[in-house]
Each structure stands twice: as structure tokens, then as C-alpha cells.
A and B are shown apart, each in its own frame.
Chain A
Amino acid sequence: MTRTPRRTTTVGLALVATAALALTACGSDDPLSAGDGGDGGDTIVIGSQDYYSNEIIAEAYAQALEAADIKVERDFRIGQREGYLPDIESGSIDLFPEYTGPLLQVWKPDTTARLADDVYSELEEAAEEKGLEVLDQSPATDQDSYVVTREFAEKYGLETIEDLSKVTEKLTFGANSEAESRPNGPKGLKESYGVDVAFTPIEDSGGPLTVKALKDGSIQLAIIYTADPSIKKNDLVTLEDTKGLFLASHVVPVASDDLSDEAEGIVNKVSAAMSPEDLVDLDARSVDEELPAATIAKDWLEKEGLL
């Protein structure tokens, strides 16, 4: 048993393995899969959530910047907040459309701010501590809200969340699983409004499955984003949050602090132009007309005279 021949075998296999790894390395050179996009230079890396509405906003930033001859790189649909946040915090993504309330809850879980301006100013501080900055918040909002079906609301005369105490049947509440531990979940309902609910997780962020569950009666109460066109389409009723269970949640761009003033100005203009109704309309085009985000964003920017 000499050593050399077996080593040849090992070396051969190692070569193939190296080749395979090299292939992988090529793979992650691509902007779409890059986790380490430390590109330097003037290119602005824009990210977006794996959420169609968020992608449209990111696309609007991108096209508005491109119209001013600023180079951008799209790193879109990169998952949910728990996945991409480290990349924003580390500065490998320069610009990202976020939402004031939910982002503040991640950075300051025990915040008591509820109103839009309070949330925004606390968020500004929190971002600064992370070496980031938040640009102007947009009038457009997309926030969690409690909804019930029209039929259910009429049966018990529901207008506010408080009215839920009038319901005599068992209430099952459906939302993403994080709602179970968050202040706006079953615990918050009990503490602020004295309402008891059972909880079932539906991990689609108030999407079609949640709506279906509401309509077929598997759940009676759900969290759906206010900008979701399905609220209007399915004639759902949003219950008024009289005791401030939910944080105000405006669209807000999070940026690394080396973003140029020119770029900031452009993004702020986009934010200012977007009304809450605009956002619902943009989402509706995405869901109903099934158009790609780039088309929807382009049409809107043209309408607003931003291109």
C-alpha cells in the first residue's frame, strides 16, 4: 500500500470539487444572487422585498434615478425583512423601500409610538444608530389592519375593533405567525380591547389564502394590509383601531448615508408624489392586470410627470 496512487485519486476528486466550487463562485458574481455587492463606485444598489407592492415602489425609485442618468442596480425580491435586513444594515444595499411602523418594531420592539410623526421621528433616531438614514416618509401608507367580511360586520354591527366584544360566537383570528407574539396580535386584542380570540397562522401576509379563509368562515378576523386591493374587491370591512394597537406605517425609503443629495432629492420627490390611493391603484394593477412591476411603475411615473 503505497501512498502516492491513492493521493492521485484524492487530487483528482479535489480538482473536480474545486471546479464545482468555481462554478458556484461564478454564480454568485451575478448581481441577482450577490450577497456581498460591495460595488463601490456610483452605482446605487436598490433592494426590494419579495412582495409585489414593494417591488413596484423600488422600481419607481430605480426608474426615476435612471432618468437622471444615475446608475442603479436592481437587487429585487430578496425575501422578507428577516432575510434582507442584515444587508441593509451592513450597507451592501443602498436604498430600500420600507414601512415606518413595522421597521421601527424590529429596531425598537418595545416602542410606544403609534402616530405617523412619532413613529417617523423614532425611526430616524433608530436608523442613525445603525449608520443609516431614512428619507422623507411618503403620504402613501400600507399598514396592518383588522378586517372582517361585510356579512359578519353587519351581523354584529361592527365598526371598530372594540365592537368585537359584541360577537357571541367563537372568533378565530388568522395572520402571519409573528402576529401571535407581536403587540397587535391576540395578546394586544386582549389587553387593549378585552377581546378573546383563537389564533391560526396563515403565512401569506394577508394574501389570497387569508381572504379565502375569511370568506369560507374558517376564520372571522384577519390582518390585511390597508393598500391591499383585495379589501375593496372582496368588500371586506376594516375595523377602526380606536386604541392605537397598530403603528402608523408609511412608505419610507431607507438609505445608506453615502447616498448623494441629488439621488435623495429624486427619491423624496417620488415619495411625495405617491398618495395612499395611488398605492392601492398600483397594487390593483399588479393583481388584476397581472403586469410586471416595471410597466406599472413607468406608467405611474409618467402620469406624475417624474420621467
Chain B
Amino acid sequence: MNLFADALSWITDGSHWGGPGGIDHRIVQHLLVTFAAVAVAAVLALPLGILIGHTGRGRLVVVALAGAVRAVPTLGLLTLLGLALGIGLQAPLLALVALAFPSLLAGAYAGVESADRGAVDAARAVGMSEWQLVTRVEVPLGAEVILGGIRAATLQVVATATLAAYISDTGLGRYLFSGLKSRQYDEMLAGALLVAVLALVLDLTLAALQRASRPTTGKVLS
């Protein structure tokens, strides 16, 4: 595949590294946007999801809501937010937070729910408070599933963070758009490959974390 070879040589071309528009710089930006979006979404979604999983209340409403959010086309959200907030990072960040939210929420409540009921009942029987129940039993037991949600959300966000370049000078998406618009397909494909590699590295890291979090006696859930 000629195109792929071109893309690889574009990446390995030393002149594309270093400086404000360099590959290294864009990778850092891309990672920062991704982490920021997932972190903000996690602060909102994880406590809510754990609460739902723990109490079993409000599940239907929140699940329906999260499903609806999942259905919102990111492009539409980005354009609406862009028109409202102007150029810069706010609009893409908000759109990415919305993107990450449903997966994180689903992971959190499914994780807590997946905690072995026997263990939960036993913990309650030995006199643990609800707070202890959540922090010492349900969350540790559900950690693998919760991390699965974080992993899914991160993967979605890191791939979609390319859209941030639609309205700001940020991230690896810049190579995609400028390559697409000026028909420099080696640059565009190089951008895509870099994003894919970044995603892969993040995914492997989170997968390792997920494996490490598996309770020693636990059964496999996904």
C-alpha cells in the first residue's frame, strides 16, 4: 500500500517533529484534551452511576437519558456549542464530555450492580454503613466493570478528539483536516495512524489496569 508507506514516511520525517505544530506537541495536546474530557465526565458520571447502582433508584430514567445522549450526533453538538461559545477549546471539550458520559455511567452502575449480592449482604450483616458498603465492597468488586466503562469512554474520546480541530488549533485532528482539505493524503493518513496508535496505547494501558483490578476470586464480567 503506497499510501500507507507515504504516511509512515511523513511521520518519520524529522521536520514534522518539534516546534509548535510538531507531532510531539500535537500528541500532548491530544492527550490533554482526552484526559480533560474523560476526567470531567467521570466526576459527573461515576458518582451518579455508583449511586444508581447502589440504590437501584432512578435507573430507568438515567439509562434512558444516557441512551439519548449517546444518540446525539457529536458533529451536531459541536456545531451548536461552537455557535454558542465561539472558537477555542470549550465547545469541543463539552461535546467530548457528553460523548464520554454514557459509557462511564453505564460502567459505574453495572459495576456496582455486578458486585456479588452475597458479599454485599454479608457486609451489611457485619454492620457496615452504606458508605462503607459502597467504598469497601461494591466499588472494589465492581472495579473491573467500572474501569471497563472508563476504557470504553477513553477510546471513544481519543478517536473523536480529532473533531476538536474543527474549531480550534488543537490536537492530531489538525493533520486530518488540513490533509483532507488540501488533498495531502499522506498527512491525513499519518494523522489517522497517530490517533489509532495513541488509542491503542491508552487501551492497552487501561486493559492492564482492568486486569490488575480483578478481584482474586471474581468471575469474568464485561
Q: Which A residues fall within an 8 A CB radius of B? A: 80, 82, 106, 174, 176-178, 180-182, 199-204, 208-209, 212-213, 216, 218-219
Contacts and interface: CB of A to CB of B under 8 A. Distances in A.
A204 B87 CA distance: 11
Interface residues of B, number: 18
17 contacts: A80-B181, A82-B180, A82-B183, A106-B183, A177-B174, A177-B178, A177-B182, A178-B178, A178-B181, A199-B169, A200-B168, A201-B174, A201-B177, A202-B167, A209-B82, A212-B83, A213-B86
B166 interface: yes
A177 B165 contact: yes
Contacts of A182: 182
A65 to B, nearest CB: 31
The 8 closest A-B pairs by CB, nearest first: A178-B181, A177-B178, A178-B182, A213-B87, A177-B177, A200-B169, A203-B166, A212-B86
A200 B169 CA distance: 5
B140 interface: no
Contacts of B167: 201-204, 209
A208 B88 contact: no
B87 A219 contact: yes
B181 A176 contact: yes
Given A177-B178, A201-B168, 8 more contacts: A82-B181, A178-B178, A178-B182, A200-B87, A200-B169, A203-B177, A203-B181, A204-B167
B174 A202 contact: no
B109 to A, nearest CB: 33
Interface of B: 82-83, 86-88, 165-169, 174, 177-178, 180-184
Contacts of A213: 86-87
A174 B182 CA distance: 16
A276 B218 CA distance: 73
Contacts of A180: 178
Contacts of A178: 178, 181-182
A181 B182 contact: yes
B188 to A, nearest CB: 10
A216 B177 contact: no
A176 B83 CA distance: 16
A180 B169 CA distance: 12
Contacts of A80: 181
A80 B180 CA distance: 10
B23 to A, nearest CB: 16
Nearest to A210: B87
A177 B87 CA distance: 14
Contact of B87 (A106, A176, A218): A218
A202 B87 contact: yes
A201 B83 contact: no
Most chain A CB within a 10 A radius of its CB, from B82, B87, B178, B180:
B87
A105 to B, nearest CB: 10
B200 to A, nearest CB: 26
A198 B169 CA distance: 11
Contact of B86 (A82, A181, A216): A216
